[in-house]
Amino acid sequence: MANTFETMSAYLKQHSILTLATIGADGNPVLDTVDYMWTGESLFFFTDLRSRKAANMKNNPYIAAIVTEQDAEFLTAKSVEIYGTVKICEEPAKIGAYMQNFMTRRPQFASLPPNPEIQHNMAVYEIIPTKLRMLDNTIAPGNIDELEIA
């Protein structure tokens, strides 16, 4: 049985940490871990505009990312790879939905003292996927299902 978009979407909704791959100024891949929210259409995360990943995404909006379970046994391992483009989100409703979701899942951040410099330099980014690829070893070892997204 192949994994469908609905299966991949459910997997992405169950998780909140991904490894993001961007291309650095030197042309080499760079990995960063980010907290994300999947809406069923796109992924949202925030980062400091002064960060390495922000500079990389500004210079090259093409990204790859992976969501995986770190402690899974090999025969039960699953992951979803995301390929697409990224942009700064400028839609207040989407930004608000992500920040509310983040604060609900990470309440410890609400107790941190406000830091205007950090808050001023933060931006919410949106990943628009063009392809999803799911590894699901529960179907068969190495089983991969790939979906192009229009």
Structural domain count of the chain? 1
Tokens of 99: 């920040």
pTM of the predicted model as reported, rounded to 2 decimal places: 0.89
* Residue 136's CATH number: 2.30.110.10
CA distance 57 to 36: 16
Domain hosting residue 12, numbered range:
5-148
**Three-state DSSP class for residue 139:** coil
Count the neighbouring beta carbons within 10 Å of the beta carbon of residue 119: 8
Residue 134, classified by CB atoms within 10 Å of its CB into exposed (0-12), middle (13-18) or buried (19+), is buried
Tell me, what's the pLDDT at 1? 55
Walking along the chain (150 residues) 10 residues at a time, the average pLDDT comes out as 85 95 97 96 95 97 95 90 97 89 81 72 95 95 92
How far is residue 47 from each of residues 43, 57, 74, 106, measured CA to CA in Å?
13, 11, 32, 15
